[in-house]
Amino acid sequence: MTRPRVFVRGVGAVSALGDSWPSTCAALAGGACAIRPITRFDAAGFPCTVAAEIAGPLPGDVDHEDRRRPLALAAAREAWREAALSVAPDRLGIFVGAESGRGSFTTVRGLARAAGGPPFDDDRFAVEARPFAARIDATVISPAAVAAALAAEWGAVGPVETISLACASGAAAIVEAVRAIRLGHCDVALAGGVGADVDPMMIAGFGLLGILSARGVSCPFDARRDGFVVGEGAAMIVLATEPGPSGAAWCEVAGVARTLDAYRLTAPEPDGDGAARAMTAALADAGVATVEHVQAHGTSTPLNDPIEVAAIRRALGAGADRAHVSSVKGALGHWVAGAGALGALCAIEAVAHGRILPTAGLATPDAACTARHVIGGAVEARVDAALVNAFAFGGANACLVMTRARGPW
């Protein structure tokens, strides 16, 4: 039985560089960087005081507590408008990469102060915490809240899934969307990821792990790199079994794969075996042996970057030297749950429009990260196939292969 082909019908994004994918992409192509001093809270004394923060009110934001929902909704609406599809509610699936939500700093601080302790005063807490606690409910905290909001927006009653795998979440959500379409569980899927981690608790936590840039610079694969910078945003795509009017489609998601290192919670396997296996499996699933572009995970950490490059070489063999390699995290920071979905949009841009986006911040490649890097500005080139990498805490790996859409349909 021939499996269904999965076409990209629409894309959307909200980032610190633009309120749509075209505006974000144009800024990225020119080598722009959105990393600036944090304004949402007083970051003095934090391990990193900069981020790729979205300034001003978010589109459609009314609750001011859960930034994930307005970001994801804005990106999804853009993708859906471009797709211009009509689908029965039970044939539409929703697949979202998202982590748990958090209340605003004001709310969390109010809760912390409400007890008046030490010692903890239960009676006082019951009274003074009420106005703050009412603002943190399941719709704010639950990872599933974003997918539920998208399902409600489009009346989707097909499969609805939330993937919470840290930095692999967004790419893994697209993997599961493709699999669901292939299995006949839905005909159309809205898939992607959202990250909203410019947050005191997240920055403090990442700082304790020693993986944030003390210099406040994200420069993947560079000899000067010392860690990543947090960013926020959402990236969504619409997938369908039909290519669109007159056979026009952005591209196909031809190959998908997920693997697990089962090594350490916060470190990849030193030889990159899990990452290489995910890449190899995605390439095999797509039926391609080489790619012209690798949209790398590229976190800008001293440990991860050389391991990823070694894994790319292991997966692509001699073809590794012909593939342009880039990471979007130098410009937009690390979106965590949304990172893999943002990488997917960059790869779609390369395949559909022949524009390979650069790695912002990269000036002097580390000898341990030797690759065909894209530095300064976008490279114009024909890309028949692109590989997307997303690797996460716990050793979760998700890879995608995007290819040019070709007939017959």
Residue 171 sits in which domain range?
A: 7-101+142-403
Element (H, E) at 140: helix 138-141
Whether 67 maps to a domain, the answer reads: yes
Whether 205 maps to a domain, the answer reads: yes
- Could you give the CA distance from residue 182 to residue 4 in angstroms, rounded to a whole number? 5
Whether 124 maps to a domain, the answer reads: no
Number of domains, the chain: 1
Residues labelled as active-site residues: 167, 297, 334
CB within 8 A of 301, min separation 6: which ones? 211, 225, 227, 228
Whether 126 maps to a domain, the answer reads: no
Res 62: pLDDT: 54
Whether 359 maps to a domain, the answer reads: yes
- Could you give the CA distance from residue 185 to residue 91 in angstroms, rounded to a whole number? 7
Peptide bond into 118 cis (omega under 30): yes
Exposed, middle or buried, 367 (CB in 10 Å: 0-12/13-18/19+)? exposed
Q: Specify the CATH number for the domain of residue 389.
A: 3.40.47.10
E-strand ranges in 150-282 read 160-163, 188-196, 232-240, 252-260
- Could you give the CA distance from residue 11 to residue 325 in angstroms, rounded to a whole number? 22
Whether 158 maps to a domain, the answer reads: yes
Whether 197 maps to a domain, the answer reads: yes
Whether 95 maps to a domain, the answer reads: yes
- Could you give the CA distance from residue 6 to residue 383 in angstroms, rounded to a whole number? 18
Res 304: pLDDT: 95
- Could you give the CA distance from residue 239 to residue 252 in angstroms, rounded to a whole number? 9
Q: Which residue has the tokens 């979205």?
A: 54
Q: What is the pTM of this model?
A: 0.94
Mean pLDDT by runs of 10 across the 409 residues of the chain is 92 97 98 96 94 84 75 97 96 96 73 74 80 73 92 97 96 98 98 95 92 97 98 98 77 97 81 95 97 98 96 97 98 98 98 97 98 98 98 93 83
